[in-house]
Amino acid sequence: MKSFGLCLFILVSSPCLLQANLSSDYYTKTCPEFEETLVQIVTDKQIAAPTTAAGTLRLFFHDCMVDGCDASILVASTPRKTSERDADINRSLPGDAFDVITRIKTAVELKCPNIVSCSDILVGATRSLITMVGGPRVNVKFGRKDSLVSDMNRVEGKLARPNMTMDHIISIFESSGLTIQEMVALVGAHTIGFSHCKEFASRIFNKSDQNGPMEMNPKYAAELRKLCANYTNDEQMSAFNDIFTPGKFDNMYYKNLKHGYGLLQSDHAIAFDNRTRSLVDLYAEDETAFFDAFAKAMEKVS
């Protein structure tokens, strides 16, 4: 088990989730340099490791979709308890995302010890990184409390998987209080980052999966088969979610879906499902509409 630093140990003692009083100026008096410190560190990290933004955004979702934004994804497993971090779906979470949170926490602790929660750091870092790569400004508030409780068994059923049906995925988002419109906007986060070959192997190697509207662009599928030919021996093999602008947060993801360039089966499905197709069309045509919907949905999730 890797150690990801202070955020694994310096946690506000809150064994159950409590309703926090959030505000935009929560740390103005208690840690006035928090925002400046956070922005500087995420900027340096993103420049050094350009996949940090996508990784941190994924880490944010995997924390917040399971019982809220409480930094429970950062808690280490113990001999007696396996934490969320070691759940099957979380084992591929990128190290750069954990690293940037640890760096911020370390720097902030030197300035104002035991004040800023790890959950606020994760939310703030995600907000800043989205903007850095071209995305919208997400209005976030601070004042979250970290949880010492992290249980692997709480994860299953809270996070969507690529091979799930659209009915199942919609039900997961609805169970978190999110609408179909908010779901489609949030899935647009796949405009940056990458997916491991094992997540979409059945789409490119199993011909029975290539039927009707679910069919992938043939040339795109052929290139992916070359890229992932050895994926069973190398689990780290991966492909960009958006092959045209993989490092830029834009609406190209939705345009790709309309032309057979959806990497994951679940992503591609939203372009053809009657409940989601019109939203995909809207966001493909109107980036401003996507940005506005994404920012509002992110604020709600956070």
Residue 96, annotated as binding a ligand: no
In single-letter form, the type of residue at position 126 comes to T
One of 62, 168, 196, 268 is an active-site residue; which one?
62
Residue 72, annotated as binding a ligand: yes
Residue 196, annotated as binding a ligand: no
Residue 182, annotated as binding a ligand: no
Strand partners, 196: 238
State the sign of the Cα–Cα–Cα–Cα dihedral 51, 178, 157, 231.
negative
Residue that has been written with the tokens 């790890």 in this structure? 118
Residue 212, annotated as binding a ligand: no
Whether the CB-CB separation of 35 and 109 falls below 8 Å is answered with no
- Rounded CA-CA distance 141/20 in Å is 10
Residue 120, annotated as binding a ligand: no
Cα–Cα distances (Å) from 42 to 49, 71, 79, 127, 157, in that order, read 10, 18, 33, 10, 31
Residue that has been written with the tokens 């053809």 in this structure? 272
Cα–Cα distances (Å) from 142 to 24, 95, 130, 173, in that order, read 6, 24, 17, 23
Is 268 known to be catalytic? Answer: no
In single-letter form, the type of residue at position 262 comes to G
Residue 151, annotated as binding a ligand: no
Residue 84, annotated as binding a ligand: yes
Residue 63, annotated as binding a ligand: yes
Residues identified as active-site: 62
> Binding site membership: which residues?
63, 66, 68, 70, 72, 84, 190-191, 242, 245, 250
Residues that constitute the known binding site for heme b: 190
- Residue positions forming the annotated binding site for Ca(2+): 63, 66, 68, 70, 72, 84, 191, 242, 245, 250
